[in-house]
Amino acid sequence: MEITNNGAIVNSAQCHLLGQRLSVVTFRPEFLKRPFLVSPISEELRSRMFFFSVAICHQTYTLQNREMNLFGWDYLEDGFLRMAQTKPHFLDPSFLVELPADQLADELALFFSSEGSVASSTLDRRSERAFLMKESARFVHQYYNNSVKDFLISTGNCLKNSPESFYEQLRHVLPFADPLYKKSTFLLKLLIDARLYQINDPENIIPVMDYHMQRVLLRTGCVEIVDNELFGNLSSRRGLADDSSVREASVEAMKVVARASGLNPLLLNDVFYMLGRSCCLEEPLCVSHQCSKQPCSLTLTLHLESHNKCLFTSVCRGEIDSAYRRLWHPMVVTHYY
């Protein structure tokens, strides 16, 4: 059955093929033991670290430290962990609400500069990110006496169906206002992975959907583009005013993959995100026989006997069809993901 969505449809049969392939993979438990998740700092400080890092994590195309081989989210983890360990007051909501936004922007820049200067920082859109971080702090400061843990307790361990639930509260906080809840679910994943939170209604999890994951779903054929103009725009990487049709279809496709694989949607993030940022970038593994990142991100999360072929070899449309392979994620300017 195919689910139609204004130019993009979910190819359920293709989703089932990928899901069946994923039903036999095994995950590396050590991935959940990385310092960002298990650092010996207080639970409140770890919760703040997750909360604020996710609040400013969107479109991190430029964020990198080549000397440390850290890119995007990996560099954010490194920077925010250093912040928690050396300058924890920058994660204190009461301090952040009083700190001028331009000063916070400069301080953030320093945590993501190999040379220790604002000018050399690879963190872009700093004023926007500082504003979003302050908005997040205002929420915790105003309603939860500076405590992210108190916010989590207030949710009753539920994601939806009440004004106090996790998703419903966060959707009123500007950094987490994405109607598809990308940042909210990513925060949820970190909290669960770090054993700081549990939920009573896992059936209400909305899959994380970022640009790497959309690209994989498009190229594999799980999401089909049936509008010619949209197909051309994605293939040519033209800027779009609205990406909702592709992204909404991608969320629905991930739900189908989750059911077919028997895997929790949060675990699928560790597959599709890692594959998209390593194996399925400019030169996909299926044609280059080499990952864009070394080590391949996917090998950090999965036990793979060899990796000269893509995880989805023989079931991916893009492996044999260059038109699918040319598809790119929607090019939009957003703070949602």
Give the tens place of pLDDT for each residue, 313-329: 999 999 999 999 999 99
Give the tens place of pLDDT for each residue, 229-242: 999 999 999 999 99
Same domain, 20 and 45: no
The values of phi and psi at residue 306, to 5°, are -150, 165
Same domain, 198 and 132: yes
Same domain, 198 and 230: no
Give the tens place of pLDDT for each residue, 279-302: 999 999 999 998 988 889 999 999
Does 319 fall in a domain? yes
Does 257 fall in a domain? yes
Checking if the pLDDT of 251 tops 90, the result is yes
The mean pLDDT of 185-212, rounded to a whole number, is: 97
Same domain, 133 and 258: no
The boundaries of the domain holding residue 132 are 34-204
Checking if the pLDDT of 130 tops 80, the result is yes
Same domain, 48 and 171: yes
Write down which residue in 204, 230, 249 finishes a domain: 204
Would you call 164 helix, strand, or coil by DSSP?
coil
Does 337 fall in a domain? no
- Binned at pLDDT 50, 70 and 90, residue 175 comes out as very high
Give the tens place of pLDDT for each residue, 12-71: 999 999 999 999 999 999 999 999 999 999 999 999 999 999 999 999 999 999 999 999
pLDDT for residue 61: 94
Summary mean pLDDT of the chain: 96
Same domain, 141 and 159: yes
Checking if the pLDDT of 1 tops 80, the result is no
pLDDT for residue 46: 98
Does 190 fall in a domain? yes
Same domain, 259 and 281: yes
Write down which residue in 174, 204, 234 finishes a domain: 204
Question: Over pLDDT 90: what percentage of the chain?
Answer: 95
Does 70 fall in a domain? yes
The DSSP annotation for 243-298 comes to -HHHHHHHHHHHHHHHHHHT--HHHHHHHHHHHHHHTSSSS-HHHHSS-SSSS-TH
Same domain, 196 and 246: no
Say how far residue 327 (Cα) sits from the centre of its chain: 20
Checking if the pLDDT of 3 tops 70, the result is no
Residue whose C-alpha is closest to residue 180's, from 208, 150, 204, 222: 208
> How many whole angstroms separate alpha carbon 243 and alpha carbon 335?
13
> How many whole angstroms separate alpha carbon 189 and alpha carbon 193?
6
pLDDT for residue 96: 98
Q: How many domains does the chain have?
A: 2
Same domain, 118 and 193: yes
pLDDT for residue 4: 57
pLDDT for residue 2: 63
Does 317 fall in a domain? yes
The DSSP annotation for 3-18 comes to EEETTEEEEHHHHHHH
pLDDT for residue 275: 96
Does 333 fall in a domain? no
Same domain, 189 and 236: no
The DSSP annotation for 101-112 comes to HHHHHHHHHHHT
Write down which residue in 176, 204, 232 finishes a domain: 204
Same domain, 38 and 173: yes
- Binned at pLDDT 50, 70 and 90, residue 308 comes out as confident
- Binned at pLDDT 50, 70 and 90, residue 158 comes out as very high
Same domain, 239 and 198: no
Say if pTM beats, i.e. exceeds, 0.75: yes
Does 336 fall in a domain? no
